[in-house]
């Protein structure tokens, strides 16, 4: 069964948003907060690992 393009796009976006919120590396990167500041982890996750959600 093929889904329409808009439905696949929405599904991909939803999955990326979910994975960025539940990212298991967040706990590891939070250790860098004392070196780089508290926003570094979120910027890395949303700006590098899951950058497709910004392009949508």
pLDDT in tens, the chain (56 residues): 687 887 777 888 888 888 878 887 777 777 777 777 778 888 888 888 777 655 54
Q: What is the pLDDT of residue 55?
A: 55
Q: Among the residues of 1-56, which ranges form H helices? A: 5-21, 25-29, 33-36, 39-44, 52-55
List the domain boundaries for the chain. Answer: 5-55
CA–CA gap between residue 16 and residue 36 (Å, rounded): 25
């Amino acid at each position: 069964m093929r889904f329409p393009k808009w439905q696949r796009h929405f599904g991909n976006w939803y999955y990326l948003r979910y994975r960025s919120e539940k990212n298991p590396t967040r706990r590891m990167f939070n250790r860098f907060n004392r070196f780089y500041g508290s926003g570094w982890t979120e910027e890395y996750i949303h700006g590098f690992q899951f950058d497709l959600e910004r392009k949508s």
